[in-house]
Amino acid sequence: MALIQPDEGLVRAAQRGDESAFAKLMRDYELPIFNYVLHSIGNYHQAEDLTQDIFLRALRSLPGFSFRSKFTTWLFAIAKNRILDELRTNGRRPSTVDLDDAGPFAVRGLSPDQQAEMGDLWSAIETLEPELKSPLLLRDVVGLRYQEIAETLEISLPNVRWRIYVARRRVQLALGHDETQAVPAARTATASAR
């Protein structure tokens, strides 16, 4: 499911300094940004802080947004750059997300077997390098289209497709699924997390 683009009038109002318009944009995109940051960084409290910082940066940069790209592409590019800055500053790979601390992304109503399967899935995703994890999260968790991911990450469309394929394949191998189950199982497990 792709993220819905905001009304252009709402973005233009926010550009002119309308606080209620920016607050609406923030409400609409806070959870997708938070989930992307959380599963990229791996620390709930740090993800909260970074999400706030991303929206502060977006607020400062919004007057320069030119509508040459989609709003979500622009916003997730800010998030991607902030995440990369954080990882460079700390000189580390992302830590593992404590699934009990995953907050708004937690999936309720799953059987114990499904919860264990979901935990295994996220553990497998957490082992991916950021250059594989980021496009996978943007596609399967956030719901961006391939072209938006390419623009957000500033890589080619074939590169996006390849990275997502490799990421899904590695996750499936980590889960112990054979080749015939690889892609459908990843989409099913990820879709149930939405």
pLDDT tens digit string along 7-31? 999 999 999 999 999 999 999 999 9
What ranges in 42-178 are assigned the alpha helix state H? 44-61, 71-90, 112-126, 130-137, 146-153, 157-175
Rounded mean pLDDT, 137-151: 90
Instruction: Delimit the domains of the chain by residue range.
Output: 8-90, 110-192
Phi, psi of 73 (to 5 degrees): -60, -45
* Segment 98-109 mean pLDDT: 46
pTM: 0.69
Residue 2 is given by DSSP the state: P
Mean pLDDT of the chain: 82
In terms of CATH architecture, what is 110-192? Orthogonal Bundle (1.10)
pLDDT of 112 reads 72
For residue range 108-119, list pLDDT tens digits in order.
455 677 777 777
Is it true that 8-90 and 110-192 share their CATH fold? no
Using 50, 70 and 90 to split pLDDT, how confident is the model at 142? Answer: confident
Considering the four listed CATH numbers 2.40.50.100, 1.10.1740.10, 1.10.10.60, 3.60.21.10, the one that applies to the domain covering 8-90 is 1.10.1740.10
